[in-house]
Amino acid sequence: MKVLITGASGQLGGALQRLAPAWAELNAIDSNDCDFTDVSMLRARLTVEAPDVILNAAAYTAVDKAEGAEDLARAINADAIEAMVAAMAETGGKLVHVSTDFVFDGTATRPYRPDDTRNPLSAYGRTKAEGEDHLRPEDLLVRTAWVYEAGGANFVRTMIRLMNEREELGVVADQVGAPTWATGLARTLWALVEKGATGTFHHCDDGAISWYEFAVAIAEEAHALGLVARIPAIRPITTAEYPTPATRPAYSLLDCSATRALLGESPVPWRDNLRLMLKEEAQLA
């Protein structure tokens, strides 16, 4: 099976390449290989490549910057998806697209199911929702949240850097969700492709925490591995105390039960995966 990975240099793109199964005839591209804002170029490239499956890990993910660059975010998060779908319709391929918890407004009182009504609060969320709307019934959509990977640009590594620089940190405690280790997400994506899954699924690690609780766990686990010399004081703050250009959902937990049922897998606690990622990070240090 010919599989094309987009966003090859990103956290998820790298994990997808490392975990590619033997049956995948793999090719991977990123923005250095193809301008994702040029839909004509992108569609032509994909038509020539003619993969059986596109695993789309490319996205504009600068949530706050998107508030002032919504057209650019839309070009990558929505218009490029439309071009991918058009190319796959022409060649008979399938698009596997990764989206986000930010398509929801955070007002729910239970984890968001795949078919729940979307109501994005930010430019990033809006453009990702628009990208979802271009998918066909035969395509596969997987939403995720709070993605991190060893060596990547993410919350975990930012916290480690700040913890080594400061004696005290304030971290938002009134936004609740679940982290996602990119390695685990990549495994799920490959498993769903192998199953021939279509429609919408969710994947996150198991549990429900705030960014503050995540930061406390990062401090404890990173200190145990010698990645943090000393644990600083970590203070819970409100979203109002840390204003950002983009509005974020206060509650964005995703219901992953359908994904786990299809794959026959047990949920993996978020802290277990955090510990595995930090062990990899320690090896890179």
Instruction: Compute and round to an integer the Cα radius of gyration of the chain.
Output: 19
Q: Check if the beta carbon of residue 42 is closer than 8 Å to that of residue 80.
A: yes
CA 61-215-258 angle, 5° bins? 60
DSSP 27: E
Q: Is 124 annotated as catalytic?
A: yes
**Through-space distance between the first and last CA atoms of the chain, rounded to whole angstroms:** 37
DSSP label of 269: B
**Which of these is catalytic: 124, 148, 212, 251?**
124
Please name the residue that has the structure tokens 């271009």: 134
By the 8 A CB rule, do 42 and 89 touch? Answer: no
Region of 115 please: left (phi>0), alpha (psi -120 to 50) or beta: alpha
Q: Which residues are catalytic?
A: 124
